[in-house]
Each structure stands twice: as C-alpha cells, then as structure tokens.
Structure 1
Amino acid sequence: MTLNHIRKWIATSLLCLTATAASAETFVFTAIPDEDETKLVERFRGVADYLSEQLDVEVRYIPVKSYAAAVSAFRNNQVQLAWFGGLSGVQARRLVPGSEAIAQGVEDQAFQTYFIANTSTNIEPAEELASLEEELRGKTFTFGSKGSTSGRLMPEFYIRETFGEQPEDFFSRVGFSGNHTRTLRLVEAGTYEVGALNFQVWQKELENGNINTDEVQVIWETPPYPDYQWTIRAGVDERFGEGFKARVTEALLNLDDKALLESFPRSGFIPASNADYEPIRNTAEEIGILD
C-alpha cells in the first residue's frame, strides 16, 4: 500500500468515526420541577421515548431540584431542550443568545394563577382582587418556587399592583413552598392561610379527587398571561445535524399521545416564539426579579 493510499484510508476512517460519534450523541432535556418529582419523571421519560423514536437519536431526560438548576443546566449546555415556565424560559434565553421558544401548550397562551385560601379564613371568592384587601391583609401567604411564573412572578405582580405594597409588607408571613402541589397541600392543611398556584395543577388535582374542598377553595383568578414553553438551545443544528431544530419542533407539535398529553395536562402543542414571552420579561423587569 502506497503512502497516499494509507493517508486516504486514515482520513476515511477518521470521517467514519466522527460521523458515528456524532450520530451516537445523546440529546438531553430537562423540565422545571413544578410538581412532585415522581409525576415529572414518569411524564418526561415518556416524552424522551417519544422524541427518541421521532428523531432517531438517543434522548434522555434529567430531573433537576429547582427552577434555577434547570436554567443553569441549559446555560451550561448540560441540556439542549427544556420545558420552562414563562420566567425561567426568559432567563435561559437571555443567558444563551440564539436560543428559541419553539412550542407551547394550547392552554399556555392564556395561563392563569389561582389564589387559594383555607376555609377557616372565611374569605369568599371575588372577581376583583382589590375587594379582598381587608380579608387578605395580615394573613400568612405562600408562593410556589421563587423562579415560578404562575407561582411567584404573576401573583407578586398583582399583589404589588393592587395593594401598592410588597408581599412581605402586606402579609404577616410570606413563604415559598417550592412547587404548586406543595402550595396546595400547605394551604389545605392550614400551614399557610393563603397561597398562589398554577390553575392547571388545581384543576387536575380536583378532577382526581385529591382536594378537600371543605378545607381549601379558590378565592381569585388572575387575568390570562403566556406561560410554559419548550425552549431549544442555540447550536443544536451544528451539534446534531442540519435541520435538527426543525425536526424537534415538528415532533413536539405532532405529539398526540393522549395519556402523555393528559399528564402535562395539555390538549396539544402549538408553535411559540420568543416574542410571545415579552409580557413576562417586562413584568419581571418591572418588579425587579429578573436576573
């Protein structure tokens, strides 16, 4: 074999090895821990299996312990896709320029936060938050996670806007439960008198018979706002092949597994863009909680 033949053979072998390594690379995603971990693991392992089949690559879901950890994993390129809330998605895309919101749930165009109260407070449901000022002032109150759109950002915005005070000044004690399910349980148990959580969690738990309505009830619903979305990291086409981002987007938009969608719960996914979440960015900047 001549020297030129040897060089060509080495070059061809290296190209084959490179192509094999690229095709074998794992596409990794995460999600904000807005509910109990066991529920999330079951849901997103199903999503991983679906995406792996659709994309013909290995897809792996990794759970995280906090909203901040989800954003950090995205920033550090430990994950290339994430199911974010409105605020965490804005934060992640600011940290990784060129990243894009590509899909949202049908219901995420008009998301809501429910304010709930333990029935021992005798607070009756109202259409206007302002009408509850006397009953709410001095009560104990819990948000969800500090980085949650529906569990912190939007309820804090409406508290400040309506009462002209920070939550810490308006309520006697303010806490952060960590997720929506825990907020519900803490208010139901009377550990906190009032709390704020994502309306989807309330409705799902109610449908499943997991709420004691003798102990807790919804007292106010926020106006609608954009929330959850799938955000994909900049550079995935370079890493996984030309057109990969479009293929991921198509797979998410075509997801029609009824059980999987119900686990979110969502009726389906529709296109999304970064511009859809400008109201969230503006609100976060206005009240000073956008990093």
Structure 2
Amino acid sequence: MLKRTLALAAGLALSASAVLAQAADVLKVSAIPDEAPTELLRKFKPLGAYLEQQLGMKVEFTPVADYPAVVEALATDRIDLAWLGGFTFVQVRLKTGNAIPLVQREQDEKFTSKFISANPEVNSLQDLKGKTFAFGSISSTSGSLMPRYFMLQDGIKPEEFFSRVAYSGAHDATAAWVQAGKVDGGVLNASVWDKLVDSGKVDTAKVKVFATTPPYYDYNWTVRGTLDPALAEKIKLAFLALDPTNPAHKEILDLQAASRFIETKPENYQGIEEAARAAGLLK
C-alpha cells in the first residue's frame, strides 16, 4: 500500500512538473481592446511569429473583453506580456507594485489625441458646448483620460459642458460614431486616426480634426513582475532589435504603427498617474 501511495505521489508530482514545464514554454500575450478584436489579431500575428523565433518558445495571443480584464489578467499572472496604454499601465503598477514596462514606440514619448467632428460649424471645443460628445473606453489614456485632463485644465467639465457624454469603447468606434452623426464630436488617439485616414475607413470630406492635445507619454509593452527576469530581458531585446531597414521587421513595425521601439521605465508614466488623480479616476 505504501509503495502504491508513493508511486501515485511521484506520478502526480511528475504530471504537475510536466504541466508547469509546458506552461513555461508558452508566452501568454494580450492587449487593451482599443480597436476591434480582428484588427488586434491581424496586427499581432507577424509580431507573435517573430517573438516565437527570437525567444524559442510558443507565443499565444488572447483578446480580452475590456480594459479592466487586461489589468486583472496581468495582476493574477494569467498573462505574461501585454500592450497597455499609459493609464492601464498605471493601474497595473498600482495593483501589483511590480509590473515592468519594457519598451514603447518612439512616438509614445510624445503622443497626442485628436478631437474630431463632422459638423462644419465646429472649429473648437467651445463650438461643441451643449452638444453630444464621445470618448473611447473610460480606461483609455488617449481616448478618455488625457483629453479629459486637458479639458479640465481649460475649465471644461465634460458632463456639464456637453449635453451628453458617451463612451464608444474603442478609437475606431469613436470615429465611426462621429462620421455617422451619432455624436457631434469625439476624441481618439492620433495613431488610430492616421491609420483610419490612410486606409480610407474615415471620410475626411465629412470628418475633420479641429484640435489636438498637448503631448504626453502613452503606450508600452509591459510584463508581469513575477516573470523570469532573463525572459523579460530577452523579450525587451527582441523588440529593440526590430530594424526598419529589414523588410520583414518593417512589416511588423508598420502594423504596430511604430518607427522603432525604445526602452521605457515606470517614471515616464508619473504624469499619467497625476492626471488620473486630478480627473478623479484614481483615489
């Protein structure tokens, strides 16, 4: 009986070890859903293949339903690496105390948001007073937090200034709402705006940019704080090695709307935290 018990225990231990070993061979990745899930998957596919080759391990991308889901997944070690906005990074960092931002796109040092409208009479925020307005997700840095912060700096309280404030959930959805006349104005990040214009998915004969925010830090790729430091370093070096003069790398960078990736650090997002507290989004 004792031998059978010991054999069973040993078998269970080996099975557990095998499961852990298998899990360690898979890098679990996600991203804030700031665009449609199909678009996120399309953008990630060549990057995921590149990371698999560089890291020598399987890379799996898992879309999530909303911004808080990414924060929770990183905080509970259910994903290893995530594409975050500045605000979601601050939320993860405050929740875990040890999430590590590895890299950001070069333009994320000076990111901006675009205010748009399809009303030809709208040439400033003041022209939208008493009209309807759309942010993206309430947890979006560029689609909600920073535009709201700059509005407050100018003495504009959105819920009092506009007749109705809505949240579209994503940058491309905000542009679609404005173009369709569902709202009189909206705000989205500059990178998505440029992509929508370049791809013809927004009609600039109907929708125009009438204002741009001051610059701020935004997106980054962050790993959970409990990830093996050696693996985290390999991930960082893989991003930094992406070379725009290499055609295969340029395809990856173009899909990420990146000229190149550069290192980043938690201190870069202190201003985002201060803005979130000023806007009442952090207690």
**TM-score by shorter chain over 0.5:** yes
Q: Is the contact between residue 103 and residue 272 of structure 1 (CA under 8 Å) also seen in structure 2?
A: yes
Q: 1:197 aligns with which of 168, 182, 188?
A: 188
1:42-94 CA distance string (max 9 Å, x none): 12232222211111122111001111111111112110111000000110111
1:166 Cα deviation after fit: 2.0
Q: Name the structure 2 match of 1:249.
A: 236
Q: Distance in 1 between matches of 2:147 and 2:12?
A: 56
- Residues 106-148 of structure 1, C-alpha deviations (whole Å, 9 max, x = no match): 1101000000011x35113xxxxxxx35412111100000100
TM-score, normalised to structure 1's length? 0.86
Task: Note the 1:180-259 alignment, pairs <5 A.
Answer: 180-237=171-228, 243-256=230-243, 257-259=249-251
Distance 1:252 1:73 in 2: 22
Q: Which runs of 5+ in 2 are unaligned?
A: 1-9, 244-248
Shift of 1:244: 1.4
| Structure 1, unaligned runs of 5 or more | 1-10, 125-131
Alignment of 1:1-291 (within 5 A): 23-25=21-23, 26-118=26-118, 120-124=119-123, 132-162=124-154, 164-237=155-228, 243-256=230-243, 257-290=249-282
Say which SS state the counterpart of residue 236 (structure 1) adopts: coil
Look up the match of 1:7.
none
TM-score by length of 2: 0.89
Q: Given that residues 189 and 215 in structure 1 are in contact (C-alpha distance below 8 angstroms), is that contact kept between their aligned partners in structure 2?
A: no
Find the residue that maps to 2:49 and give its secondary structure. helix
Q: Distance in 2 between matches of 1:14 and 1:64?
A: 33
Counterpart CA distance in 2 for 1:236 and 1:214 is 48
Task: Give the number of equivalent residue pairs.
Answer: 269
Q: Distance in 2 between matches of 1:111 and 1:223?
A: 8
Aligned residue type for 2:145: L
Matches of 1:14 and 1:244, distance apart in 2: 28
CA separation in 2, counterparts of 1:262 and 1:16? Answer: 44
CA distance in structure 1 between the partners assigned to 2:129 and 2:252 by the alignment: 41
Maintained 8 Å contact 1:23/1:57: no
Separation in 1, partners of 2:139, 2:219: 13
Q: In the aligned structure 2, how far is the partner of 1:103 from the partner of 1:190?
A: 38
1:100·1:232 contact (CA, 8 Å) conserved in 2? yes
Offset, 1:169: 0.3
Which whole-Å CA distance do the structure 2 matches of 1:184 and 1:18 have between them? Answer: 49
- Matched AA of 2:122: I
Cα distance in structure 2, aligned partners of 1:253 and 1:94: 26
Indicate the percent of aligned positions where both proteins have the same amino acid. Answer: 37
Q: Please tell me whether the aligned partners of residues 99 and 232 of structure 1 are also in contact (alpha carbons under 8 angstroms).
A: yes
2:13, 2:71 → 1: CA distance? 35
Deviations 1:210-237 (A, max 9, x none): 2211211000001110000011111211
Partners of 1:16 and 1:37 in 2: how far apart? 38
Q: Do the aligned residues in 1 keep the contact of 2:128 with 2:184 (CA within 8 Å)?
A: no
Shift of 1:23: 4.6
- Superposition RMSD on alpha carbons, in Å? 2.2
Deviating more after overlay: 194-203 vs 19-28: 19-28
